[in-house]
Amino acid sequence: MRLRQHCAFCGDRLGPLEGNRQTCTVCDEPYYHDAKPCAAVLVLDDRGRLLLGRRAIEPRLGLWDVPGGFCLPDETPEACAVRELREETGCTIELTGFVAHLIDTYGDDGDHTLNAVFTGRIVAGEPTAADDVAELRWFALDDVPAEDALAFRNTAQAIALLRTG
């Protein structure tokens, strides 16, 4: 986890980390290092193949990931999952189930994330890589890339949970 240096309210220096909190040395406003909510979807086609996207941005540029992203401030994880899939694939999806909440970090020293992982299916459109995705590909569950080719620990965990049903 990267510590923050400056207060978002007054711009002055933040103090040391105490628990999950840094406090501004001037205005006394706290900054909390809480997990950031995210949502992802394990999209399956009618042949049971899983849709993965190759990341076009850091962290973990070039590695495979489940489509998804960070929740907006006024957005539920379900709405985030649908929006992120539309942004990254151009498709409209229907959520078909909930898999798990998985904790991770966004990159080697990034923020903690709380990932709500769903299953879903495409109801309109053909997947086309967009936004922060360089490539989309369907994988049979037995042919998913190895863990070292997956972008995040929670990606591997979600796929393992999908396999075990």
The two tokens of residue 55 are: 């990341």
Q: Tell me the residue range of the domain where 77 lies.
A: 36-164
Give the global pTM: 0.93
| Number of separate domains in the chain | 2
Residue 11: phi and psi, rounded to 5, are: 85, -5
Cβ-proximal residues to 42 (8 Å cutoff; 6+ apart), any chain: 50, 66, 99, 117, 118, 119, 120, 158, 159, 162
- Among residues 23, 24, 2, the alpha carbon closest in space to that of 11 is found at 24
Give CA–CA dist 144/49, Å, rounded: 9
Count of positions (residues) in the chain: 165
In CATH, what number is assigned to the domain containing residue 89?
Answer: 3.90.79.10
Q: Return per-residue pLDDT of the chain as tens, 165 residues.
A: 789 999 999 999 999 999 999 999 999 999 999 999 999 999 999 999 999 999 999 999 999 999 999 999 999 999 999 999 999 999 999 999 999 999 999 998 889 999 999 999 999 999 999 999 999 999 999 999 999 999 999 999 999 999 998
Pair 81, 92 in one domain: yes
Pair 67, 28 in one domain: no
pLDDT at 96: 98
Specify whether the CB–CB gap between 124 and 43 falls below 8 A. Answer: no
Pair 77, 24 in one domain: no
Pair 88, 21 in one domain: no
- Among residues 9, 40, 22, 20, the alpha carbon closest in space to that of 112 is found at 20
Pair 27, 76 in one domain: no
Pair 62, 114 in one domain: yes
